Structure formats: structure tokens, C-alpha cells
Structure 1
Amino acid sequence: MHPLDPQLSSLLLDHSTAQLGVLDRAHCYVYANRALLDFLGRSADQVLGRSIAEVLGQAAYAAYLPLAERAFQGESLRSEGWVDLPGRGRRYLVETLLPYSPDGGPVQLVASFGLDHSALKQHEQELSEQLAQLHTVEALKSAIVDHALAALISTDALGQIVEFNPAAEAMFGHSRAQVLGRPVSEVMIPPRFRAAHQAGMQRMQTGQPARVLGKRLEMHAVRADGSEFPMEMVLWRTDAEGSSFYTASIADLSERHNAAAQIERQREALRQSEKLSAMGSLLAGVAHELNNPLAIVMGRASLLEEKCADLPALQADAQRIREAAERCGRIVRTFLNMARSRPALRGPVDLNDMVRAATDMLKYGYRSHGISLELALADGLPEANVDGDQIGQVVMNLLVNAQQALASAQGARRVLVQTGLEPRRSHREPRVWLRVADNGPGVPALERDRVFEPFFTTKAEGIGTGMGLAVSRSLARDHGGDLALEPTPAEGGASFRLSLPISGQAEAPTDSAPAPLPEPPAAPQRRVLVVDDEAELVKLIRYFLESAGYEVATAESGAVALEMLDMVRFDAIVSDLRMPDMDGAGLWRAVSTQHPRLARAMLFVTGDTLSPDARAFLRSTRCDALDKPFTRDNLLARVAALMEKT
């Protein structure tokens, strides 16, 4: 083997891309090739004979010194890292140190072969940072997708599912593993819509404009159990590396649709309430005009019945007239009680009387629909301390529901109304009860637990609002009782049972009996002023009071009454509330100023207690009121109560 020509060796070293330098034991450069000089940006005179500290700076010298000591001891070393160089900035150097010892003696020189990898390392660092950012973005996107409230479903261009987030799993009832790779139409599209879906996919695959991309669409989807539900979807396309993917963001609209339906039912209930309010205002005027002649008919029929005691045939006719008039009066009062809005007012009420009043109202409707209404009312029921208007509303609602349930029934149609008294076995006090049973289609088993829910109804569209039974049960429980749907009778149909404690309270009752009807005053000297513009009604009231021993004077208006009060002393005033000239309210204000003692002894006889101004007046003055039409006993009881105040 021929030794290498020294000139060739020098040529090779000078043109090597590696930075070659040779250092003596004083750490001074004795040789530097062209690559090293170019890297340092210096000439050979500025490097040769100078130490590393002078050429590379103190920081580089401090890093080199421990390695040099090992290299001069004969150890070959390799190192790499960032070094701060004067004029070159921060550089990443890979360096190999090779000791040289001529003739096997001590190491005299160390050759340093270096490569500048700064650009490579900077690029690696940039790639590492980009990769870290990419991982962060992917983790963030994954967290968003996995925790999104909306269902996110992605497919490839063929419509096969490639992504199915947890919200989609919960919404559709499929796991992600079950649906990956399956056509999306099989997973979420109802069968009747799949053909249209496939046609749309084919249009997009052939490059035709997509009709649904970027639009908010409402449609139906199907769950794993086969049930359908309304959904809202937004679809968009993503192109990646020559492939197209479609992602749908889906929201379940079931709750929104249910809420909208409930709001519509509430609106309908509000419209019905507004109609009832308008009807109530109209009814107030009608009742006022009707109650005056009705009171006269009742009173005169009662008097005629008494006068015909020796003529049984005429007396029977008079009795029929009186009973018919009383029935008309009950119907008017029931209408007023249903429409009247006022605080609860409890008192002794006969459940049988409420049943009779309700059936009087509904007899014609039952009869015209061919429904037999049977009453089986127990005799001697004790009165319950309840709000008669509220419990009357419950009774009326049960009877109306039974009539509506039989509207489409075939064959004989029958409603049975029963009342009775529960003994003190399961309760701390006796309870009166009412049962309304029909032989209609009944309540389906799956709906029995929901019939008392607000806005739930089994009736046809447009019939009822679903509030009747819910309100009725609430009213029953407010009185310490309950309203329940009984087990389906053997002959079918539905049976509802209302039970009420005698006290009208959930607690144990207190022993109290209804106050007896006050006896007419023994002294005939008590004087009453009757004020009304209806002459016949004035005569009737005067006759009732005079027959009970009162001295009576009459006035056709409030102004005339004031003139009489200035001349004669009276113990009580019975006045109409609606009159021309000066009405009852104006009379009360004048009496309060001029005769304050009598202001506490005024009874207003009126058929207009439904109107808001009349209710407000009676509530603010705390004056007693007697609704028209009335009986003689009603009138005498109220007047006797007035006399106790004077």
C-alpha cells in the first residue's frame, strides 16, 4: 500500500465539508481547514496560533476544556449541543475529538472534526412544535366532538359512517362500534325517506349542486328501537387529500315540539278563558235583567201557594210554578258561580244540592244526546264546610266529562250519579262522597295514571283543554279530600269518585254545627227601608218583611231614600245595587257620611255580583249581599243579621 501524497491529503482536508481544526496542548490552533475558517468568518492568520478562548470565546472554551483534558489523555470523544459563538450567535455543533500521539508517546495534538447542524436542529424544533400544536388541536377537536351536546355524524362520499360521537350514541341508541362502516341511511333515516336520501347522495357524487349543504333542516330520524323523533340538522362537506367527507350536526327537537304543543294548549286555554271572561261580563248584565222578574215570579208563586191552601188543585199549580222558578234561579246562580272569580268562601253545603243544581244545568244536553242520567242520592247527608262554587265546579266538570265520553258511544248510554257517607274507619272524621260513572269507552290502561296531569286529555282535537280533572283534583285536595279514578267497572266505562271531609280540612274536624236560621224579631217596631226601582220587586220584599213583623217603608231611588232618612229613623236598609239616578254604591257613600250608624246595616239585593265593580264595592265596604232570585227565608235571615248590628 502506497503512502498518501501529503499534497493530496492537504487538498482533501481543505475541501472537506467538515470543519477540521488541530489543537496543541496549549489549546491553540495549529491547523484549520477552509470549512472551519469559513464557519468562523476569519482568515488563517486570525486563527492559527491563537487559543480557543480567543477564537471561539470564553463560553465555548469553558465547554471545550473538560473534553480536551480527556482527549489529551488519549480518549476519543464525540459531543453535540448549542454553543454561543462571537459573531455567529447560537449554533448547534456536532464535534468529534481524536487524540494524536506520534510514535506511541504522549498525546501532542487533538484533531477536532465539527459539523454545524443548527439549521437542521431549528427545523426539527419547528417540526416538533408544529407536531405538538397539531396534537393539541386534535385533542381539542376530539374533546369538542366527544363532549358536544349535538350529535355529530360523519360519513365518506359513499355515505358510510366514519365518525359517531357519544351524543349521537345517546340520541340514536347505537354504539360507535356498531355503526362505523355502515350506511348512514340504515342507521338514522326512516325507511320511507331512504330513497330520497340515496337520490341526494347520488347527485352529490356526480358533481351536481347539493341542495341541503349549509342549511338548517327539520326532518324525522329513527332510533335503534324503531321509534321516530323530530330533529334539526346542518350538513357540511370537508375535502381532505382528495376525498370528501360529510358531517351532520343534529339536535333532537322532541322537547321543543312537546313544549310548543303545550304552549299551544295553554294559548287555547287562555283563549277559552278570555271567551269565558267576555261571556261572564255579558252574563252579569243578563243575570241582572233576568233576576228581577224571576225573583217576582218566585215570590208571588210562593204567596199564591199559601193563599190557595184551601184549593189543592190551584195550590199544586202554584207549587209547580214556584219549583220551576226556583230551578231557573239555581241555573242562573250556577252560571254566576262558575264565572265568578273571588277568594274561596267556605260554608255549610249540601252535596246533594250541588248535584241537583248541576243536573238542572245539564238535563237538556243529556236528554238531547240520548243519555240517561240516573241519580242515587243518599238521604240525610251532613253538610260539608266547603266552598260551594269550587266543589260545584268539580261536580259540573265530572258530569260534563261523562257526557263527552258518551258522545260517540254506541247503544244505550247511561250516567249514574251516587252520593253517600263514609264511616269513621279509614279517616278521622266522616266524609261525604260522590261517584259519577258512565258506560262509555273508559280510560285506556296506559293512560289511567295520566288523566290528572295538566293539559293531558283523551278527548278529540278541539274538545277540552286537559285542565278539568287536574283542577278538580286540586280543588278536592284543597278541601282535605281527593278525586280518584276508580277501577274499571265490570260493565266497562269510567268511574270517578270525589270524597270530602265534613270539616273541609285535612286536620281533625272541630265539633261545630251550622248556625240555625235566625228567628224573626219579636218586637214589631223594627223599621226597614226598601230601595229599588222595580215596583213589583219592592212590593214582594215589603210583603215578606211585613209578614215577619217589620215596619217597612219604600223608595224608588237613592235620592228619595236619603230624603226619607232625614225625616224618619230606620234600623236597616235593603237596597238594589243597580238603579237610575243614584245607585246603591252612591247611596251607601251618602249614608256613610250622613247616617254612619246605618252604613253597617245595609243589605244589597242584586243580580249583578259578577261584574268587577260590584264585587269591588261589596268587598271594600264589607256590606252583605243577597243574590236574586231569593226566597223569603233567605231575605229574613239576612235582615235579622242586620238588626243585630244596630
Structure 2
Amino acid sequence: MATIGTRRVGGRYLGGWVIFGLLRARIRAFNVRYLLEVLALALVYLVAGRLGLLVATVGSNVSPVWPPAGVALATLVLRGPSRWPGVFLGALCVNYGLTQTPLPASLGVAVAATLSAVAGSLLLRRVSFDASLGRIRDAVWLCAGAGAACTSISSTLGSLSLMLGQVLPASELAHSIWVWWVGDMMGVLVMAPPLLALRRPRRPRKWGEALLLAGLTAVLGAAIFMLSGVGLSAKHAAAFLLFPMSAWAALRFGAAGAAPTTLFIATAATIGTASGQGPFSSGHMTEDLLVLQLFVAVTAVTGLLVAAASEERKRAMEQLQLLATTVRGVHEGVLIAEALGQGLLRTVFVNEALCTLVGHSREDLVGRDPCFVYGDQEPELTRRVKSAVIKGEPLCTEVTVTRKDGSLLRTEVLLSPVRATGEDITHFVATHRDITATKELQARLVAAERVAAVGTLAAGVGHEINNPLAYLVLNLEAASRSLSEGGLPAARDALSGVRGALEGAERIRLIVKDLQVFSRQGDQERGLVDLNALVPPAVRIVSHALRHRARVVEEFGPVPRVLGSEARLGQVLLNLLVNAMQAISEGSPTLNEVRVRTSTDASGRARVDVMDTGAGIPTHILPRIFEPFFTTKPTGEGTGLGLAICQQVVRAHGGELEVRSEPGRGSVFSVLLPGAPVQVSSPSSRPVATPLPTSRGRRGRVLVVDDEPRLAQSMRLLLEPYHDIVTTTRGSEALALVAAGHRFDVILCDLQMPEVDGATVFRRLCATAPDQAERVVFISGGAYTPESRAFMESVTNRVLEKPVRPEVLMATVDAALSDGGALVDPEPVVAIAGGSRH
């Protein structure tokens, strides 16, 4: 065991030595690489300095051409400021070794050169400089920041060091600072860009063009700066030909082409001018080289800026092409419109998805107002779009789009302003998303929730119907027995029984009417809705199921009418009442209360509060109660859609649904709806059937068309003492009678019939006998199909809702007779299907 333990300890020591050895090797490798980089930088600095000293003009130390400044800056930018010892060592060797400058002065010059290079590299890192020089801001920071500003450190401190070291007389200090600064700045502008741009050399794709550019630049450079015997004016004129070469290189090859071209031009110009050749040679070398540097600076800066601008434009075009390709390929319709002022827009772009969506070609849409695709379906939208364009605000709404084939679809439109110039809005982008299927699904969910809400109360509704139905049957039975016995007392009993039966029938009619309000399918018609009139039917439907849980209190206050759908708002009230009912347990109706209160809030909106004293809603659940399918109720008591649909309906009416709740103290749901504008009236132009005084003025001819024989017979029995009645159970037979030449003063026609319905009868009468179509009075048990609802909204004829009260039916017939003269039949009319002959 001791041996094993020793091995373990020895292994642990061995592992430690291995790790230590690897770390030491890593450190040594790093130190060696770092040392080599520092020495390489110092060597390159020394060689570049030797070349710069060849044209020194202030003593033997200051030159208007100083390539080491660019070498030092580029190295510290690429490899990091930590390589500064290479700059210091190279500058010290140049001054102390090559120019024999005293050591104190050489140390000062080396420190100045190092500080200038480090300051330039730190500045460029600070501004997130990109060494590829592909942005204008990078070129500006290199030229103005590192080139013009930071080089003033070396020129100032370096010249002071030479003066303090008695190498430079004080009278030459200002001139030395100027020449030194020009030399360092030219070194940065000429040497740094090619080193930065070519850090990752890439082979040019256009070798032929690159070789042609290099050859022309070489020929022009040699001819301008190195050939003798050429006139000075000709050389000055030829020097301008170098600018197109620099621009060519910048535009076609970017900074990687402009920087070497500038370096070659600067090298040729410097050699030629130092040799007394070229357009800048006047015999005074210092002034000639300073003027030359101005030419080189203009060439370098122009080349870098043009290259950067070209790269930015290239990237912008690539992004634009990518954006255009993306926009064309997205599945949502995209439209871009130009803002023309005064709220006007002109379409400049549409993608394929939008063309497919609206059924128009690109030529149909481009150049037109974007609201063209909305047609006449959305006049209010045009006003809202113009308002949003004038204000420069985004707009998100649902609209109806008219396709080219005339069909309609629902889309969700998001209109967003675009500030292309950064200030003024120049364009608007509209995205269209087809939500037809989504709206259909939402409608089905709303219908399902409506059925679920009514289904929850089915037992109570059935009980409410059974009570009057029971005494209706009993009273009718008693009346029948009394009539069979005969005699005056029996007649009185029969009359009393019939009156009781009528009372029960009236109660059933009211219950059915309430159910129709809350079970109407797909009712999108909007009109003026009185919330005070909408509350009682909802309370009556829920009252039987609620009476075993709480008492119901209705509290009505002044409330403005709202513009909306009676069925949808009725569903909201019914859902909230069912929700309140389910929050209260059975067994203590005297201790609990559900209160419905209508009022007007401080802002003038209509307000309906549904308050209960139930269990309340826990705080952690309250934020989620409006989420679809979220419910805390047991299975069978809730779908999780009720409150979500309530919120959706209220928001669709421009209102808000708020909730306040405290566990154990009940909840308050508040519906807030904006009041209808004064100028808005109910969209329905159909006359409303109301009890009218019967004239009994004259006898008329009445055709009754109803597929229910007993109902047709009942109307015949009611009207026969005052008018001549013909009955039929089929619409086709009614049309045959009119086609045979029979004419009627009033045609009572049921809407929902098999084979030929009331709408078909009316349309055919309009085509064949318009005078008879004007005399049609429709009797409807409810519009259950979209076609029948659309038909009822379009006709102006009177519509009576089943079950029709006797006095209403008689008054309607008398009113129709009073509107025109009696029509005389050429022959007696034959009653069909149980009718009588008159």
C-alpha cells in the first residue's frame, strides 16, 4: 500500500511538472515571437529611416520624406501597441547610429517617434478603425487623426530634443517642426495605407486591367519625373495625368489598388525631384520637396477617399440588391410609395406577392395611388392613410382589398414612413398580409364561444320556455273543452283560456327573440346600439341559471349610443354575465350579487360594469385571463375563449375591456366604448315593422306564400274576414299565379322556403311584374345564411319578424292597401294548397 501511495504522489508531481513545462514553453514561445516581431520592426524602421535621410534638408536629421512614420503606425495598428519597443529601438538606431546624434537627443527623438506612433494606433483603435480602409470614416481618421494630428507630437518633441541637445539651433526650430511634420504625415499617408490594405493580399480578378494600370502609371511616372529634355510646362501638364491613374485604381481595385499606386507615384516623384528632374524641381531642394509633398498628399487623400466611397457604394448596392431580392421573395405583399406632399402617394415598387394577392399586374399598380387596390370598400381608410402620410405616422389596420376579378379579401396593412435622407419622409412602405383565413377562423371561434355561452344556459332557457308552454297547452285544452260543451259560460271560459294561451305565446316569443340576438351568426352589420336596451335581454337569458347563486341587480344610468354590432356586443354582455355566474357557488343566492351598471365615464364613453361578489381572481392569474384558451375552470365549464373574444370584440369597436379583482371579494369587468358620432345613423334603411292602427277602410286581395301550411292557414283565418286571401306553400306557384295575370294588393312572402325562396320570388317579380314586387311584404324567422342577410340589407320592402303579432300583421296589410289603389283581377282567384275560392 505504501508503494501505491508513493506512486500516486509521484504521479501527481510528475503531472505538475509537465503542466509547468508546457506553460514555460508557451511563455518562451510567446516571448521569442514577440522579440522577433520587435526586432523586425526595428530593422524595417532602420532601413526606411536610412532611405528618408537621403533627402534630409534640415541638418542631417530632419527630412520632408519620412517613411518610418507610416511603417511604425501600420505595425502598431495591425500587431498592437505593445510592439512599441520596436519603434523606439529603430528610431534610436537611426539617430544615434546613422546620424551620430548625441545619446540624450537621440533618446528624446526616439521617445517622440514612439509616442506619435502609439497615440495614432490607440486613436484608430478607439474609433473602431477598419484596416481595410473600406469606409470613408476610416480614410478620414487615418489622414486627419493619425496623419495630421498625432504626427505633430513627434515633430514638436523631436525638434525640441534636437535643440536641447544642441544639434539644432534655436532659430531653425520652427522650420524643423514644419519639415518634420510634413515628412511624418507623408510617411503615414504614403506608407501606412499599402501596409494596411495589403495585410491580407488578394489576387486581383482582372489581371489584364491591373497590369495595364501598373504599366501606364510606370510610364507616366518615369516620363514626368525622370526624363530630361522635356519642357517644364509639358511636365506640369503631364503631372495631372497621374490623378486619373489614382482614381482608376481606387474605383476598380479599392484601397488595395489606390495605396500601391500612390506609393509608386510618390516614390518616382521623390526620386525625380531629389535628382533635379520633374515639374517640381526649381533648384531649391527643401522647397521643391515640400511642394512635392502637397501634390503627393492630394493624390493620396483623393485616392483613399475615392476608394472608400467606391467600396461603400458597392456594399450599398449589394445590400440594396439583397433587400430587393428579399422583398421580391417574401410571401407578404410589399408596396413602396413615394411621398408627393399634401398627403399624396405614388407607387414606385410592388413585389410579386402583392400582385398575386390583389390580382393586378405590376404595370397596373406602379405609378398609381396605393389606395387604388382598396376600391370603394374602404372610403374611411383613404382618409386615415392621408392623415397618417401628412403626420408622418405609421398605420396598422385591417382593410378590404378588391381584387381585379371583383372578389374581396381581408388584409392586414402596416404603413411605415421611410426617411431616406435622414430628415424628411420620402417614402412609405406598406406590407399586406392576407388574413382572410384568419378572420374566418376567428369568426368560427366567436360563433363557437357564442354557442358555448348559450349552451351553458340551455337548461335554464328550456325551463323558461317550458313554463309558458305548459300553461299555453293547458289553456288551449281548456278552451277546446269549453267550446265543445257550448253555452255562454263555456264561451267565456274559452275566451279566458285563449287569452292565457296568448300570454304564454307572447312570453315564448320574447325568449326566442332574446336568443336570436345572442345567437346570430356572422352579424357584421353596425348601427346605433342602445346599451340600456341591450342589457335586459342578456339578464333575462342568464337569470334562471343565476337565481340559484345570486340575485341580479340592474342599474341603468344615462349612456350614449355606440356604433357597433348588436349581436357582438350582446355576446360580450352574455359572456361576462356567464363568467360572473361561474365565479359564484350555488346555495347562497341571498348572500351574493351580480350587478350590471350602465353609465358614462369622465371622457364621455359608454360604460357597462358587470360586478360580482364571487371568488375573485388570484393576482398571479389576472394578467393571463385574456389569453386565448387559458382557463382555470373545470373541464366542461369553460373553453378559455370567452374573455379573449370579449376583449377582441370590444377592441374591434374601438373600446377597452378592463378588469379589477381581489381574491375573496369578487371582480368588476368594465366595458368602455366610444360614443357614436352625432352625424352617424343606423345603416339599415329597411322600414321597421311597428304596430299601426288598422284602417278597415277597404277590402283588398292578399297572397300568402309560406311553406308552413298551418302558419299560412292561420294568417288566412286572421285576415279573411276583411280581405280576399289566397294561400300557397311554394314560391313557384306564387310566380305562376302572377305570370297567369293575377294581381294582388299585398303579397305576404316567407323568406326561407325550399326550392324557390322569397328572395328568388322577389327578383323574378322585379323582372316580370315590377308593380307586384313593390307590394311584397317579407316574413322572416331569421336570416341564417350570408345570402339572406345580404338580401335583407339591400331591399327596402317591409320585413316582419316571426312570430308576427296579429295586430302588427293586420296593420301592415292595411298600411300597404292605403299606399295605392285596388287592383282588379280579370278572373276569380283560385286558392291553392288548402286555400279557398273567392
Higher alpha-carbon Rg? 1
The structure, 1 or 2, with the larger RCO (C-alpha pairs under 8 Å, 6+ apart) is 1
TM-score, normalised with respect to structure 2: 0.37
Higher strand share: 1
